[in-house]
Each structure stands twice: as C-alpha cells, then as structure tokens.
Structure 1
Amino acid sequence: MATPIDIVTIEMIKPSYPTPLHLRNLCSSFLDQIAPSIHFHIILYYEAYPSDNGSHNYEKTSLKLKRSLSEALVTYYPLAGRIRDTCWVDCNDAGAEYLEARFADIQLSDVIEKCVPERLEKYVPMVPRGGEDIPLSVQVNFFGCGGAAVGLCISHKVTDATNDTKSEPFIKPCFGSMTSRFPPTDFPLFLPPPPGATPANIVTKRYVFDEPKLATLKNLVAEINPTRVEAVIAFIWKNFIDAVIIRDKNKAKNTLFAAKLVVDIRSRASPPFPKNFFGNACARALAMTMEKETDSRKAKGEYTYHDLAINLRDAIRKIDVDYVKRMEDGHNFLKYLSTSEENDPCFKDGRITLETCGFSSWCRLPLYDVADYGWGKPVWVSPVAIPVKNMIVLLDTKTGNGIEAWVNMLKEDIALIDTNYHLISSLMP
C-alpha cells in the first residue's frame, strides 16, 4: 500500500540578498538551448544527528536548511529566477521552491536496504509544483528515525548535473561566460520530440557492479583497456540487443541499434571551459551497429561484447576538439545533426527500425563529498525511476570503486540483463 505523503511546508525561498540589476537577464547559450526540456532528479540520504538522542528537532533543522538555501541562492542566483522560453533566464529572485515532508512510519534504513526505485519519487518533486519554469525545487524529507533525504529537482535548461557537484568550494560560479562562444540561435531547433505515452510495462532496476564484476567485464576486452563506464554500457547494450533479437529475429535483421552517451565537453574544448563555468556543456556520443554485424559471433558472447565496446570507444573519441569547435556554430551544427545516420529517411518509411539506449553517467562526480548540509556526508545518493524507455543512469557507489546502473526498460527486455548480471560472477577467474 502506498505511503501517504505528509507535505507540511510549501514555500518559495528567495536569495538572502537581492541580485544586482545588471545580472537580471541571463542569456542562454546554444548548449543550453539544445539541452532537453526536462528536470533531472537527485536524492541525498542522511543519517540522524548522532547527538539527537532520539529527540528530533525538525523545526530547528528546517530553519537552518532554509537559511542555508537562501544564502546559497545569492551565489547561484539563476536558480532563484524563472526560465523564459529557450533564450534566457529572468534572474528576478522569485525563489527556489522548498517543500518539506514527514514520514513518521518510515525508517531511512528501510528506504536504502529495501530499495524499490519506483517508490523513491515521493521523496523529490518530479516537476516543480509552482510551474516548470522554476529552475530548482527542493524537498526535504524527515523520517521517523531522525534521518532525512533531500530531493533535488533541477531544470536541465539551466545546468547539467556536472555543475551541481564538481565546482570546488569557495570558487564563485561563472554564469553566461560561454554565450559569446556558443551564441544562441533562432534556427528551428532540430531536436527529438518529447517522449510520448509511456508504455505501461516499463520497469526500473538497480544493478550494482562491484569491483570484481567490473574487473571481469573489463577483462573481456582487456586489449582496449576500457573504462569502468564503457564496460558497463557495453554490457547493458549487448544484452538489450540480444533481447530484441530473441523477441523478433526477423525484425531485428532490419534494426539499427544505437547507444547514446552524454559526454562532458569541458575538458575536450580548446581553449577549455572556465573552471568555474556554470551551465550546460554536453555533447552526445552516438554508437551504432546492425544485428547482422554481431550475428556471426553470436556463439561467443564475449566477442559480441568486444565489438560493441570498441564501437562505443570510437564514438566517444569523436567528441574531440574539432567536434566541440563545430558546435560553436549552432546553426550549421544543427544542420549537421539533421544529416546523421539516425535521421536517415529509411527510418521514417519503416524500412529500418531504430532501437536506442540512452546513457547518462554521473560517475566521478563527487556527490558523496560535496553534499554536506550539516548532517555530514550522505550515506547514499540515488536518482529516481525514469518512465522513459531504455534510459540508463550510471553513478558511483559510495566507495567510488563500483558503479550503480539504474535501468529503465521494457519488462521483457530487462529480463535478459537480469539473468546475465547474475552470471557475471561465473565468468570470474
């Protein structure tokens, strides 16, 4: 039975000091324009204060959190503004949305140890209640044990996940610094339409790849020395392709399988982005393969995995200095995208089916190090279930040595991943 949500507070938290008038209008860059019109979600889980002694002063904690948020918004003032179409942010100090919820009958340990991805969305605003033009919505959840979870809902039109965690403390963020280099365009944006109706049988599963599992996967393609992220993506992509083939062998022969990975371009640009840059700085690596290319090696699964890992590595390497330079001319870059293989007319007339897996990696982001709100470091960090077919989010385990993969997929497709995930141990030396 669903647990009722007891929302005790809904209010707007404004910056503790007004934003100067000359900073009022923040022009979006081309990179902000092509960012998806979605909010992304992060939940940080904290144990109770050691000094609480069973007595939890929620009101005192709440006041402290709101004061801290108000002070932070002075520095991160765009998050207290309002998004105006795709061109700019009105930094009008309207405020970030703040919600507070109580779950007196729930223990933090149960949430973490008995994790059900689809049930986590009650701990974070999936969209701001005050409207989708709000860049930041925060929900603070207090549990009966005194533990807490802080759910963040952040507009991708203002920032990507890298900004929110990677900036070093005490370095003032720089807003709008790349607008002249990546100027906005009024060209009709060639962007995929928003997701349509969500299939009812999409499920979300969390897979933890510990060090031994990662070592086994990497060893299958040792000659290219894959990263941890490349190894996990290749594993998931391979199993998805196999699941589609099993489901409909004939259709699979006319299917182009694609893996899209969001790539941070900050270090791939020349000159590089400012260290304190705040905004969107992502490109999408696209790896593709046809079922017929892997069929001849189907008898030896590791070779199929090998092909996909190399394919993925090549796609990531294409996001280089020259690629980023091309992105600086937004108008022509969008024309270039419109001629890519995935937009070939053969997909529109049905001759070839396109099956895509989308991957977003939060690995190497110091989520467990910088997110200290006075409770110490979080004991766990998680995304939420995403009702988008074939969307996968990767993030580090708390130790930093493993990877959690949150896979959103059709029930019949995720079943093969489930089976082979548990078989990885049998491949270990």
Structure 2
Amino acid sequence: MEVEIIAREKIKPSSPTPQNLRILNLSLLDQLMFPMYIRTVMLYPTTHNLNDTPKRLQLLKKSLSETLNRFYPLAGKLRDDISIDCDDEGANFVEARVHCTLHQFLSQPDFVSSLEKFLPCELVLMGSGAGACITNVQVNVFECGGIGIALCVSHKVVDFSSITTFVKAWTATARDDFSVIPSFAACSLFPAVTDLSTRSLHVELVVAEKNCVRRRFVFDGPAITSLKARSSSSSTGFIPSRVEAVSALIMKCMIAAAQERHGGKPRPSLMTHAVNLRSRMSPPLSDKGIGNFVLEVGRIRSAEQSRELVELARELRDAISKVDVKKLGAEILEKVKERDELASKEGVDYVAFTSWCRFGLYEVADFGWGKPVWITNNVSDRFKNLVVLVDTRLGDGIEAWITMDEQEMNIITKNNQHHDLLQYAALDPNPLIYSPQT
C-alpha cells in the first residue's frame, strides 16, 4: 500500500493568542508523563462524491484553525520541562493520498502494521520534548473517497480525555458550533516541581531495547459477557466491569507467558492501570479540563499468589478504589517512586494498562459526514508490556492493543488450556465486521 504525501503546511489559530496567555505552565502530572505522542487514526467510509474532497479538506483546515483559537496551547511548542510556548506556530497538517480503497486496505492481512503510514510523524519519543510541535494531523484520502484523519498530540500536554474533548470541539466547529470551551487549569491543581528523577526511570521501564510485537485482540459483546461471568464471585457478590474482566484475562495470560519463557518458574508481577482523576476530584472536574489528569495505580503480586481471574479483577478494583485525590498532592511523587522501585526489581514482570473506553470518541467524531467506521490506537512497538483498551464501534466490545516481547506474544496466542486469550478474543479481525454500516 502506497501513501503519497501531497502537501504539508502549518495551521495557525484563527486569531492571535493574547500576550498574557503566551506561556502555559505544565502540571506535575504533565511533567511525569514521558515525552511521546498519543497517536490515533479515525477512518471514515465513502459518503460523498469524490469531487467534494477538496471542499472537505478545506473545511478541516478552517475548522482546525478556529478550534486552535480556543485550544491555543496545542498550536504552540514545548518550551522546556515545565511550560508551553503558546506562540501560534500552529499544528503540522499533512495531506496524503492512499493508493487503494478503504475496503482494500482493511482487507490486507497486515493492515494494523500499515497504519503507521497514515501518521504525520514517525517520532514516538521526543527526547526532552523541548521545541517539539505539540499537534500533528495527517488527512489520508483513499481512492474511494474514504478519509483517515490521523492525530499525533504530545502526551506531555494531553491525555486521551483531552484528545476526545479536542476532537469534539473540532468536529462541532466544522458544523458551526463553537460551544466547547476548554479549561487549562491543571497547573493550579497539581503544581510542577523541579526534581523529577523518577521520570527517566519510568522511560527505562517501558521502552524496549528492541522493538516488540504489537497485536490487536478484539472482544465482542457476548465474549465479554461470558468473561465477566467467569470473573465474578457468587459468594462475595463481586461482578467485574468490562475493563476489569478483560484486564484480568490479559494479565493472567501475560504472567503465564513470562513464566513459561523463564523455564516455568513462578515470577512476581506488577499490574498498573491508568486512572482518570477528573471524576474523583471534589468537585468533579469537567471533561473540558485539558491536561494529564491520570495516575497509574497497582500493586505487586508475589509469585505464589492466586492467578484466578476473579482475584486479579478484584485486586484491580481495590487498587483503583483507594485513589484519594484529596490526599494526593506531594504524595504523587512518592507513589510514582514506589511504582518504579517495584517495577525495577529483578525478576518482576511489569505490565501497564490504560483504558480509552467510555470516553465516547466514536459519538463526537462527526465532521458532518458521519461517524468513523473505526478509531485506532497506534501504540508504538517501542514499548514493552503495554496494553491499551479501546471501545469497539458498537460500544459493547473492547479492542486490546498489546505490545510485548515476540517470544511471549507467540506464547499467549496459543489457543490452549493455559493461554486461553483466543477463546474470548479474535486476533486482528477486520474492523468492518463490528460496524453496522456494513
């Protein structure tokens, strides 16, 4: 599949940012986020005459410019470790042509790995991040008229909730609705600090020395219902959520794969899950709050502890339920240091989970020509033992994007009694299967 770059330009805010807003301080949680891009692609099927494509591209540019007027930090660049230069430099905007139809692309056996060609930037880790462009967009036009809009936005500035809010504002603006007004108050809630020695350790823990293998496992609604039943406890009344049940199964399989790879000897493990702090604040923070409001929580598990699904799911819920935003403050650094110390112990298998579920991106990502048929998570294969959970288009299923060591990936994809991931999930299925538009 060939993707041809047609044009590159900068999309600046529709009006200059006032001088008093030219510098935005990062929050502590922003600082702790290692410098990488959140990368996603929204794929839209053919719904128009091909002659209308230039008009759609112009609409995307105009509405992006007007949206950046309100989301002005996203049109700037990282100034240093603690601030953004809101200099209106603009977002990188790339126009590309895909020399195949959307259906042909999704019918390829390796379409997941080919998604990299749709991205506006190859750079995953941004070094110190200083001077890096915050927002990058690539609009990929298929021969059939379908469109793939790729976003790469600095994780130092936004989390996935922020991405959803930005897309919601952008699509609404394209429909002449300017009602989505963001808030940039993260730095006042979690002030930045100067000593962040733990951050570099976290990068060492999650970035692999060599590229790992990335695979996509799709759990449909009935499979999740069955998995939740298996992960429940009638004696205690515990019933896991979709995310808890899927996370427990994946963790169970990854623990077993690591054990098998290391000669069958049981190993301690650490499962962490990113928690959205917005709803846990008092009063709850609106989803219009832009920045990183996420914190990883988890606990170490000894090699001898039970690996039953109900125990893994319950431990995940217990760890998340103990997050008390009122008591965080300076304790954030202590929790991060504790996590890194546990994860860096020899022989400990560290698996990091994050969930994009229930943010509603499918519902808001309509520029006026319909909702996307598929929204991807383009987690890089540079990361090891990373699991990103994403809603399927119908909303009742979950796509699990997993990056891990190739040998261990080969183990968990064996469909046997010890590694039963494929009893519940389909491996890299065509996403159109899960779309009512087909």
Q: TM-score, normalised by structure 2?
A: 0.84
2:399 match: 404
Superposed CA RMSD in Å reads 2.4
Deviation at 1:311, TM superposition (A): 1.8
Match of 2:219 among 204, 209, 220: 209
Is the counterpart of residue 227 in structure 1 residue 227 in structure 2? no
Identity score, percent: 35
Deviation at 1:189, TM superposition (A): 3.8
Deviation at 1:101, TM superposition (A): 0.7
Please give the alpha-carbon distance, in whole angstroms, between the structure 2 residues aligned to 1:282 and 1:327.
12
CA pair 267-222 structure 1, distance change in 2 beyond 3 A: same
Q: Aligned with 1:45: secondary structure?
A: strand
CA pair 424-158 structure 1, distance change in 2 beyond 3 A: closer
1:264 match: 276
Please tell me whether the aligned partners of residues 46 and 147 of structure 2 are also in contact (alpha carbons under 8 angstroms): yes
Q: Which moved more, 1:372-381 or 1:6-15?
A: 372-381
Q: Aligned with 1:117: secondary structure?
A: helix
Please give the alpha-carbon distance, in whole angstroms, between the structure 2 residues aligned to 1:61 and 1:290.
55
Deviation at 1:347, TM superposition (A): 5.1
1:340-393 residue CA offsets vs partner (Å, 9 max, x unmatched): 26515x955xxx412111111100011111111232111111112521111111
Please give the residue correspondences for 1:234-313 in structure 2 after superposition, counting only pairs within 5 Å.
Answer: 234-249=248-263, 252-253=265-266, 255-294=267-306, 304-313=308-317
1:278-301 residue CA offsets vs partner (Å, 9 max, x unmatched): 11100111132122223xxxxxxx
Deviation at 1:274, TM superposition (A): 4.1
2:158 match: 159
Deviation at 1:60, TM superposition (A): 2.7
CA pair 47-366 structure 1, distance change in 2 beyond 3 A: same
1:174 match: 183
1:298 match: none
Q: Aligned with 2:198: secondary structure?
A: coil
Partner amino acid for 1:207?
F
1:252-291 residue CA offsets vs partner (Å, 9 max, x unmatched): 44x3211111110111122322453111100111132122
Please tell me whether the aligned partners of residues 128 and 153 of structure 1 are also in contact (alpha carbons under 8 angstroms): no
Q: TM-score, normalised by structure 1?
A: 0.86
Please tell me whether the aligned partners of residues 97 and 128 of structure 1 are also in contact (alpha carbons under 8 angstroms): no
Deviation at 1:57, TM superposition (A): 4.0
Please tell me whether the aligned partners of residues 182 and 327 of structure 1 are also in contact (alpha carbons under 8 angstroms): no
1:171-192 residue CA offsets vs partner (Å, 9 max, x unmatched): 31111x2322311111234223
Please tell me whether the aligned partners of residues 162 and 287 of structure 2 are also in contact (alpha carbons under 8 angstroms): no
2:328 match: 327
1:36 match: 34
Deviation at 1:81, TM superposition (A): 0.7
Please give the residue correspondences for 1:16-27 in structure 2 after superposition, counting only pairs within 5 Å.
Answer: 16-27=14-25
Deviation at 1:80, TM superposition (A): 0.5
Q: Which moved more, 1:135-144 or 1:273-282?
A: 273-282
Please give the alpha-carbon distance, in whole angstroms, between the structure 1 residues aligned to 2:364 and 2:72.
19
1:199 match: 210
1:299 match: none
Q: Aligned with 1:119: secondary structure?
A: helix
2:429 match: none
Please give the alpha-carbon distance, in whole angstroms, between the structure 2 residues aligned to 1:181 and 1:147.
42
Q: Aligned with 2:189: secondary structure?
A: coil
Please give the alpha-carbon distance, in whole angstroms, between the structure 1 residues aligned to 2:14 and 2:36.
28
Count matched residues.
397
Deviation at 1:336, TM superposition (A): 4.7
Please give the alpha-carbon distance, in whole angstroms, between the structure 2 residues aligned to 1:93 and 1:347.
41
CA pair 211-179 structure 1, distance change in 2 beyond 3 A: same
Please tell me whether the aligned partners of residues 38 and 156 of structure 1 are also in contact (alpha carbons under 8 angstroms): yes
Deviation at 1:56, TM superposition (A): 3.5
Deviation at 1:214, TM superposition (A): 0.5
1:368 match: 362
1:116 match: 111
1:300 match: none
Match of 1:314 among 318, 328, 342: 318
Please give the alpha-carbon distance, in whole angstroms, between the structure 2 residues aligned to 1:49 and 1:381.
17
Q: Aligned with 2:333: secondary structure?
A: helix
2:198 match: 190
Match of 1:96 among 69, 91, 95: 91
CA pair 189-311 structure 1, distance change in 2 beyond 3 A: same
2:75 match: 80
Q: Aligned with 2:103: secondary structure?
A: helix
Please tell me whether the aligned partners of residues 117 and 385 of structure 1 are also in contact (alpha carbons under 8 angstroms): no
CA pair 342-72 structure 1, distance change in 2 beyond 3 A: closer
Please give the alpha-carbon distance, in whole angstroms, between the structure 1 residues aligned to 2:336 and 2:202.
15
Can you give the 5+ residue segments of structure 1 that lack an aligned partner in the other structure?
295-302
1:69 match: 64
Partner amino acid for 1:309?
A
Q: Aligned with 2:218: secondary structure?
A: strand
CA pair 25-127 structure 1, distance change in 2 beyond 3 A: farther
